[in-house]
Amino acid sequence: MKRILYTLIVIAATTQFAKAQQRPQYTQYVFNNYLLNPALSGIENYTDVKLGYRSQWTGLEGAPVTSYFSVNTPIGNRFLQGDATAFPAGGGLNPSSRSYTQNYMAAEPHHGVGLMVVSDKTGPITQTNIDATYAYHLGLTETLNLAVGVSAGVSHNVIDVSKLTYVDQNDPTINNITGSQWKPDLGIGVWAYSSNYFFGASVQQILPQNLYVTTSTTAVQNKTVPHYFVTGGVKLFVSDDITLMPSALLKFIAPVPVTFDVNMKMSFKDKFWIGGSYRRNDSYAALVGFNLNSLINVGYSYDFTTSALNTVSHGSHEIVLGILLNNRYKVTCPQHTF
């Protein structure tokens, strides 16, 4: 196939990021695992709203830029009116304290629903995913919860052909490029959680789809592939008010090798936290966040690129704004997602 696209469009169309990852990556995913796993829909006792923006590999023309909006909430009167872990008005126990952990009981069985909109732009390619989610939560034991969730929606894939450069203007592939496509999107996930640990597994992009070049007999068709995620973390007490939370994320995306993220978060009561992250063969990151009050929290991270792109990249910035609506118990940090 005789064409050179903007920054190798053949590669970009099948790999919006390096390492063949077609979905966005997040440094602060541990603070919004809902983006990767629909089973977290309605996990908290309030409506959880997140707004996020990520500028990856700044300084590199056409580098990925991701923005998203997500919202999820529990439904079911028993959970909404106060379950076994609900706080009294005014906040009650600090979720980072040993007392909270010792008194923890599994949440009442309930449903959760949500919506996420994720837009990711890399060079001439823009992918926007719009997905509704549903999850059911139940207690397996007195202190262990299990949630099963599903996400379903559409993916809008756009390629700006005006930004493409061709070696051969007569290449028939040019006429077979579809500039805008709507494709179905489906994902599933499971999530187990207690007072001081969590574990989850999910898959996105279950339905493989042809992208951009779908009618040419000479071109290799670009297809989406399923993305598998496995993650887990544990809360460790340094003192009653200071905790460490190591966590890890494994990513399985054929045909590339398995990759992973490793994170460490240190939380000070329910006021603020700092942390660090390592992504295999890609970057190190520093993270910081503040729970300003029972309505707003904010997190920021900066990635130091360690791959070959570090000669042209100024690193990656990511900021996340959290809003806790209908927060009747005035908690200032999550109860069930640390």
How far is it, in rounded angstroms, from Cα 145 to Cα 161?
A: 48
How far is it, in rounded angstroms, from Cα 77 to Cα 312?
A: 54
What tens digit of pLDDT does each residue of 17-64 get?
Answer: 334 567 888 999 988 999 999 999 999 989 999 999 999 888 777 788
Domain regions of the chain by residue span: 20-325
Q: Which two tokens stand for residue 190?
A: 């499971």
Length of the chain as a residue count: 338
Prior bond of 88 cis (ω within 30°): no
Single-letter residue type at 110 = H
Name, in order, each residue with C-beta under 8 angstroms of 209's C-beta and a sequence gap of 6 or more.
155, 183, 184, 223, 224
Which among 118, 125, 153, 131 has a CA at the least distance from the CA of 222? 125
**Which range (44-48, 100-104, 160-164, 326-330) has the least confidence?**
160-164
How far is it, in rounded angstroms, from Cα 232 to Cα 192?
A: 9
Which among 154, 153, 156, 68 has a CA at the least distance from the CA of 118? 68
Name, in order, each residue with C-beta under 8 angstroms of 4's C-beta and a sequence gap of 6 or more.
165, 166, 167
Predicted TM-score (pTM) of this structure: 0.85
Largest pairwise CA distance in the chain = 72
Say if domain 20-325 classifies as CATH 3.30.300.30.
Answer: no
Query: What is the rounded average pLDDT of the residues 74-97?
Result: 70
Tell me the CA end-to-end span of the chain in Å, nearest whole number.
50
What tens digit of pLDDT does each residue of 270-308 get?
Answer: 789 999 999 988 889 999 999 998 899 999 999 988 876
